[in-house]
Amino acid sequence: MKYDNILENIKRIHFIGIGGSGMCPLAEILHTEGFELSGSDANESDTLQRIRSYNIPVYMGHKAENIEGAELVVYTAAVKADNPELVAANEKGIPCLERSIMLGVVTRRYNRSIAVAGTHGKTTTTAMISQVLIGSGFDPSAIIGGKLNYIGGNSYVGQSDIIVCEACEYVDTFLQLTPYVSVILNIDADHLDYFKTFDNIKTSFNKFANQTTKALIFNGDDEDCHEALSSVPLEHITFGFNDGNDYQGVNIVSNGMNQSFDLLYKGDFLTKVELIVPGRHNIANALAAAATAHYLGATPKEIAENLSKFTGVHRRFEVLGNPCGITVADDFAHHPTELSAVLSSAMNMGFKKVYAVFQPHTYSRTALLLDDFATALSIPDEAIISEILAVREINTYGIESRDLGVKIEGAKCIDTFEDITEYIKNTAEEGDLVLTLGGGNVYMCANMILKALEEKEHKEN
Do the beta carbons of residue 362 and residue 389 sit within 8 Å?
Answer: yes
Q: Please indicate whether residue 122 is annotated as part of the active site.
A: yes
How far apart are the C-alpha atoms of 244 and 155, rounded to whole Å? 35
Q: Please indicate whether residue 166 is annotated as part of the active site.
A: yes
Q: Could you count the other beta carbons within 10 Å of the beta carbon of residue 408?
A: 22
Which candidate, 113, 114, 121, places its Cα nearest to that of 287?
Answer: 121
Do the beta carbons of residue 11 and residue 36 sit within 8 Å?
Answer: yes
Which candidate, 170, 196, 165, 201, places its Cα nearest to that of 183?
Answer: 165
Q: Please indicate whether residue 178 is annotated as part of the active site.
A: no
How far apart are the C-alpha atoms of 48 and 138, rounded to whole Å? 28
Q: What letter represents residue 334's amino acid?
A: H
Do the beta carbons of residue 174 and residue 186 sit within 8 Å?
Answer: no
Do the beta carbons of residue 139 and residue 296 sit within 8 Å?
Answer: no
296 φ, ψ to 5°? -85, -5
> Per-residue b/e over 412-450, b at no fewer than 16 CB within 10 Å?
bbbeebeebbebbbeebeeebbbbbbbbbebbebbbbbb
**How would you list the strands of the sheet with 153-156, edge to edge?**
153-156, 141-148, 162-166, 112-117, 181-184, 215-219, 235-240, 247-255, 258-265, 268-275
318 φ, ψ to 5°? -90, 115
How far apart are the C-alpha atoms of 86 and 98, rounded to whole Å? 11
The DSSP bridge pattern shows strands 327-331 and 318-321 to be: antiparallel
Q: What does the DSSP assignment read for 72-130?
A: EEEE-TT--TT-HHHHHHHHHT--EEEHHHHHHHHHTTSSEEEEEE-SS-HHHHHHHHH
How far apart are the C-alpha atoms of 36 and 132, rounded to whole Å? 31
Q: Could you count the other beta carbons within 10 Å of the beta carbon of residue 133?
A: 29
Please identify which of the residues 28, 76, 85, 122 carries the catalytic annotation: 122
Please identify which of the residues 85, 166, 169, 318 carries the catalytic annotation: 166
Which residues have CB under 8 Å from 246's CB, separation 6+?
220, 237, 238, 239, 265, 266, 291
Which candidate, 212, 22, 208, places its Cα nearest to that of 98?
Answer: 22
Task: Provide the annotated active-site residues.
Answer: 122-123, 166
